[in-house]
């Protein structure tokens, strides 16, 4: 009786073939055809599976099990994303998000326009969890104001992108902020607390630089027509009150108190529903509809309608489906040894904590540059380096922080990346024009690497051991 052969592990050449195939398929589909990344990623998953079966001797059942295991590791993130959709819907219905935007818009002043732009975009992005929505709505309005002031368009767009990504990274409503810890094996709130150490210093430096750049425009008259139109549209359709800041404040307190993410965010949904009834006169049916299908607004002013017509459980399905497909691809790459083949090659040059974190950040940027999709830039390096961080005793939240610092944060700087394409198409400014002024996106990766080599804020898994010396 013949014994079944043990499957072989992929070599570096086979792994690079699959990665190259993925890059080509994504480039053709995303850049040349303008398609979504879902089907191209499925095609790349099929290619990886065929190599695993035909060349390496794996059974389909092995690969299927690997995909299911990969998905199971991120199920908490998927559940959180579903709840987040409901949070967004109820927070808009309640007037919480509109109030944050309303008050944020009123801090504009010509002398601090770039600073105010970054702050406003950060407020909107924290409240919505979406850098794209922020740039595509408030960002457009601020861009018009900046042009009217005579401020270079690249500076304005850079401030918009920086603010949008700052809020996105620190908001528990962000999809990538949930995906990164799922890939690294960290919890959502541990991840956010860890990112505070890198993102806030980078944002403070960015604000200082925007203040220096914008000081030359002090004293110029602000054309506030666009802003006033937004304020009127929001004020006419919602009751605006500082009391509506309570739901996000409660969620922030929950982050500090280390309450598990799902109960904490569900409390945000409940509070959103209660405040919607109290302040906006919403019925129970209105709350349920907003939680399920999102909020829809028709004020007649397109910018505000686009900003506030979103959220809901259904609104997260596009993102969730892409995450599941990416996890299937990553599961096959891990099972067949392709990730390890690439990781082993890179790790030859990463001996200590500093060089490992630098390798993580640069790998995320490289995947962003080559594959053109920020989700893939989190999934592939996350699966590639997860075991190495564990072996070195480095807390998984440090890996998740590095994934965001090299992956999510740099995606908008690349013209053929989905994020760069979106910003380019929405703002009408080429990424190479605003990239020199997107200070947060440039500084955050550097801060992550510097922390790695100095050992500052780099925690061990048990929180007690000394961090190994960075090399």
Q: How far apart are the first and last CA of the chain?
A: 53
Confidence (pLDDT) at 468: 40
3-class state of residue 221 by DSSP: coil
Higher pLDDT, 342 or 220: 342
According to DSSP, the residues that pair with 394 across neighbouring strands are: 460
Mean of all residue pLDDT scores within the chain:
83
* Residue 252 · residue 192 · CB < 8 Å: no
Chain segment 330-361, per-residue pLDDT in tens:
788 878 888 778 777 877 777 788 899 999 99
Chain segment 35-77, per-residue pLDDT in tens:
777 888 889 889 989 988 888 888 888 888 888 887 886 777 7
E-strand stretches of 360-456: none
Q: How confident is the model at residue 471 (pLDDT cuts 50, 70, 90)?
A: very low
What is the torsional sign of CA 30, 36, 38, 40? Answer: negative
Confidence (pLDDT) at 38: 82
Q: What is d(CA 51, CA 53) in angstroms, rounded to the nearest whole number?
A: 5
Chain segment 163-186, per-residue pLDDT in tens:
999 988 888 878 788 888 988 888
* Residue 451 · residue 457 · CB < 8 Å: yes
Q: What is d(CA 437, CA 15) in angstroms, rounded to the nearest whole number?
A: 36
Confidence (pLDDT) at 115: 93
Q: How confident is the model at residue 107 (pLDDT cuts 50, 70, 90)?
A: low
438's CB contacts (< 8 A; 6+ apart) are 157, 158, 161, 162, 165, 412, 413
Residue of 196, 314, 192, 165 whose CA lies nearest to 259 = 192
3-class state of residue 438 by DSSP: coil
Angle, alpha carbons 196-201-203 (nearest 5°): 95
Look up residue 95 and give its DSSP letter: T
Residue 465 pLDDT more than 60?
no
* Residue 256 buriedness (CB in 10 A; 0-12 / 13-18 / 19+): exposed
Residue 240 pLDDT more than 50?
yes
Spacing of C-alpha 131 from chain mean position: 8
Residue of 125, 232, 201, 230 whose CA lies nearest to 117 = 125
């Amino acid at each position: 009786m013949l014994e079944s052969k043990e499957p072989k592990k992929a070599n570096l050449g086979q792994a690079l073939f699959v990665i190259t195939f993925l890059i080509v398929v994504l480039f053709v589909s995303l850049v040349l055809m303008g398609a979504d990344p879902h089907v191209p990623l499925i095609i790349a998953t099929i290619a990886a599976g065929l190599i695993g079966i035909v060349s390496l001797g794996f059974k389909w059942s092995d690969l299927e099990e690997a995909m299911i295991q990969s998905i199971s590791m991120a199920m908490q993130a998927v559940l959180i994303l579903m709840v987040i959709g409901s949070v967004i819907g109820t927070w808009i219905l309640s007037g919480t998000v509109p109030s944050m935007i309303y008050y944020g818009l009123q801090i504009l002043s010509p002398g601090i326009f770039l600073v105010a732009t970054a702050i406003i975009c950060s407020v909107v992005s924290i409240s919505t969890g979406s850098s794209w929505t922020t740039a595509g709505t408030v960002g457009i309005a601020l861009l018009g104001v900046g042009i009217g002031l005579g401020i270079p368009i690249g500076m304005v767009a850079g401030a918009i992108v920086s603010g949008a990504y700052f809020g996105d990274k620190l908001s528990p409503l962000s999809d990538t902020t949930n995906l990164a810890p799922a890939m690294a094996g960290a919890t959502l709130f541990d991840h956010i607390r860890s990112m505070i150490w890198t993102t806030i210093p980078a944002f403070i430096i960015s604000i200082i630089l925007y203040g220096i750049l914008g000081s030359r425009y002090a004293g110029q008259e602000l054309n506030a027509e666009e802003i006033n139109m937004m304020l009127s549209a929001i004020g006419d359709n919602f009751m605006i009150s500082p009391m509506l800041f309570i739901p996000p404040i409660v969620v922030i307190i929950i982050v500090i108190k280390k309450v598990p993410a799902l109960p904490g965010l569900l409390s945000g949904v409940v509070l959103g529903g209660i405040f919607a009834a109290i302040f906006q006169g919403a019925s129970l049916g209105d709350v349920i509809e907003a939680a399920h299908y999102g909020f829809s607004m028709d004020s007649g002013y397109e910018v505000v309608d686009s900003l506030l017509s979103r959220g809901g459980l259904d609104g997260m399905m596009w993102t969730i489906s892409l995450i599941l497909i990416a996890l299937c691809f990553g599961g096959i790459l891990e099972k067949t040894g392709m990730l390890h083949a690439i990781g082993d090659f890179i790790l030859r040059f990463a001996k200590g904590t500093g060089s490992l974190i630098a390798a993580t950040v640069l790998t995320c940027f490289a995947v962003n540059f080559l594959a053109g999709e920020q989700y893939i830039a989190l999934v592939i390096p996350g699966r590639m380096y997860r075991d190495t961080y564990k072996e070195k005793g480095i807390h998984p939240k440090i890996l998740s922080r590095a994934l965001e610092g090299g992956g999510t944060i740099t995606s908008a700087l690349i013209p053929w990346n989905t994020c760069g394409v979106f910003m380019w198409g929405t703002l009408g400014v080429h990424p190479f024009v605003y990239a020199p002024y997107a200070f947060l996106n440039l500084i955050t990766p550097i801060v992550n690497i510097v922390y790695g080599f100095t050992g500052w804020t780099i925690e061990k898994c048990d929180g007690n051991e000394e961090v190994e010396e960075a090399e």
